[in-house]
């Protein structure tokens, strides 16, 4: 059995402007609704894993990445595989968008609450996602998930903890991580 985690391509809205908190919230909404940028393409098309059952997160950038990479839509999409929340706190700063992401994620991981999925809830979801992927791999043999950086990272950790062997990993845009069962 094999599970392949593929991170989506760079979204059209992955720019890095300087923003206040309210603008950062809008930036996140644009990021979550965006397609993959025209200048973001994988180095190789999806051929070596062609026999995989192909699934994706239900977010637009993951579905679009699947189409770009495989020339077809995913065979199934799941909300379960969405990216972990990008937290939003109303700090009185003007920061670059990605600085907001890293700063807010740090506070989020430390347990600061907000009107979004907590880090604890997100980690629980990654455990459920790893379980779902394992079940699909048992049924289909080989699974390819087009997902998201932080969620893929947490799914990978759970799978390794559960005995899956890590063959290779990459968390970059279009990065491929593959694991196989013993």
What is the CATH number that goes with domain 2-180? Answer: 3.40.50.1240
| CA end-to-end distance (rounded Å), the chain | 8
Rg from Cα positions in the chain: 16
Q: Are 56 and 62 spatial neighbours (Cβ–Cβ below 8 Å)?
A: yes
Return the higher-pLDDT residue of 44 and 134.
134
Q: Where are the domains of the chain?
A: 2-180
Q: Are 6 and 144 spatial neighbours (Cβ–Cβ below 8 Å)?
A: yes
> Could you read off the pLDDT of 55-96 as tens digits, one per residue?
999 999 999 999 999 999 999 999 999 999 999 999 999 999
At 108, list the tokens. 């989020």
Q: Are 40 and 13 spatial neighbours (Cβ–Cβ below 8 Å)?
A: no
Q: Are 2 and 137 spatial neighbours (Cβ–Cβ below 8 Å)?
A: yes
Chain-wide mean pLDDT for the chain? Answer: 94
Write down the pTM of the prediction. Answer: 0.93
Q: What is the DSSP string of 29-89?
A: HHHHH--B-TT---SS-S-TTTTSEEEEESSHHHHHHHHHHHSS--SEEEGGGSPPP----
């Amino acid at each position: 059995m094999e599970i392949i985690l593929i991170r989506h391509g760079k979204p059209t809205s992955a720019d890095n402007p300087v923003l206040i908190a309210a603008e950062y919230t809008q930036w996140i909404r644009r990021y979550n609704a965006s397609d993959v940028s025209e200048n973001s393409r994988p180095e190789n098309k999806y051929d070596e894993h062609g026999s995989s059952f192909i699934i994706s997160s239900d977010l637009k950038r993951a579905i679009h990445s699947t189409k770009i990479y495989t020339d077809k839509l995913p065979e199934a999409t799941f909300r379960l595989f969405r990216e972990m929340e990008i937290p939003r706190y109303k700090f009185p700063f003007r920061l670059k968008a990605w600085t907001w992401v890293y700063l807010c994620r740090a506070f989020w991981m430390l347990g600061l609450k907000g009107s979004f999925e907590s880090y604890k809830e997100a980690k629980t979801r990654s455990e459920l996602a790893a379980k779902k992927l394992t079940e699909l791999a048992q049924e289909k043999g080989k699974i390819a998930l087009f997902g998201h950086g932080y969620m893929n990272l947490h799914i990978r950790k759970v799978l390794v903890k559960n005995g899956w062997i890590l063959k290779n990993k990459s968390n970059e845009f279009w990065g491929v991580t593959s694991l196989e069962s013993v």
